[in-house]
Amino acid sequence: MTSRRSFLKTSALFSAGVLVAPSLFAYKQRYIGLQLYTVRDYMQKDPAATLAKVAQTGYTSVEGTYSGIGKFNNVEAKEFMALLKQNGLIMPSCHYRLGEEKINGVAQSGTILNGWDKAVDDAAANGVKYMVCAYLSVPERGSLDHYKKVADDFNKAAETCKKAGVQFCYHNHDFEFEKQDGKFPYEILLANTDKELVKMEMDMYWVTKANQDPIALINQHPGRFPLWHVKDMDSTPNRMFTEVGNGVINFKEIFKHAEKSGMKYFFVEEDKCPGDPYISITQSITYIKKNLVSI
């Protein structure tokens, strides 16, 4: 949130005729988010202290994970939402699983295929605006025909979401861009899902690692990407995760296409940090505030 001091300082600059950061994206939602997977080890040990630290670092929203009926990030929903409110955080988006894969022969609860109605009720009751299928495990992928079945599952899940006033999305990795019979599975998912019911959370790192162009995808499917994962890629041969602004992805150019993409929220995520994740998320948000968004 803009402080009175920073507001007055900014106003003075404009009054003096100084044009302040004209290239920055005017982010109307006023939220810079963090996918909590980045700080997962801390969350497991002490959720309250972790969320407090995330807020102190400057993040104003988080993307969580539904961890079974009535829980977010392994914390009971009521307690989790109280912690968010206490720290001035919101959770507009949350990650879920398809649930086709069984763990030790047991179906996972709170997934698209098992207990989805309850998961949607919990999301709506706790202010979650976007329910995102986070990942397809290896057994959940398969042939293009199987991806068509997954697309059908998404359409059905999204119908349930719509009735509750929630938007369904899918979060990509790079395996969706491994061609089968001359087609990308990602193309199958896009073509076989209702473009209004099923939106996409574009992970900039994975799209880039798959040698695809985020801007080209936005131009091909305008309005389809209300959520972004903003994570950077280093310049080493392994093309690993790195802090935003510390890698090769041209976020300054990508953010110019935010409106066309339909972007409403974005979340910093770094699957693996070189050291303390708090140092990494601080570096990322510092770069974002200075170079990418004006809030």
> Within a 10 A sphere around the Cβ of 180, how many other Cβ atoms?
14
Pairing mode, if any, of strands 241-242 and 232-233? antiparallel
Q: Provide long-range contacts, Cβ within 8 A and 24+ apart, for 232-236.
A: 232/204, 232/205, 232/284, 233/205, 233/208, 233/209
Q: Given phi > 0 = left and psi -120 to 50 = alpha, else beta, which region is 180?
A: beta
Pairing mode, if any, of strands 61-65 and 130-133? unpaired
d(CA 103, CA 165): 31
Angle, vertex CA 45, rays to CA 40 and CA 49, nearest 5: 90
The per-residue pLDDT for 30 is 83
d(CA 18, CA 288): 21
pTM > 0.95: yes or no? no
d(CA 73, CA 19): 43
26-294 CATH: 3.20.20.150
Residue 285: exposed, middle, or buried by beta-carbon count in 10 A (0-12, 13-18, 19+)?
A: buried
The per-residue pLDDT for 23 is 65
Enumerate the H helices of 19-95 as residue ranges: 40-45, 47-57, 77-86
Which distant-in-sequence residues (6+ apart) come within 8 Å of 98 by Cβ? 111, 112, 113, 133, 136, 137, 140, 150, 153
**Which residue has tokens 């899940």?**
157
Q: Which of 213, 203, 218 has its CA nearest to residue 171?
A: 203
Which distant-in-sequence residues (6+ apart) come within 8 Å of 191 by Cβ? none
66 DSSP assignment: B
Angle, vertex CA 262, rays to CA 256 and CA 263, nearest 5: 70
Q: Which of 271, 266, 274, 272 has its CA nearest to residue 292?
A: 266
- Cβ contact 68:110 at 8 Å: yes
CA dihedral of residues 162, 131, 224, 196 (deg, nearest 10):
-10
- Cβ contact 203:171 at 8 Å: yes
pLDDT in tens, the chain (295 residues): 444 444 333 333 333 333 444 468 888 778 999 999 999 999 999 999 999 999 999 999 999 999 888 999 999 999 999 999 999 999 999 999 999 998 888 888 899 999 999 999 999 999 999 999 999 999 999 999 999 999 999 999 999 999 999 999 999 999 999 999 999 999 999 999 999 999 999 999 999 999 999 999 999 999 999 999 999 999 999 999 999 999 999 999 999 999 999 999 999 999 999 999 999 999 999 999 999 998 7
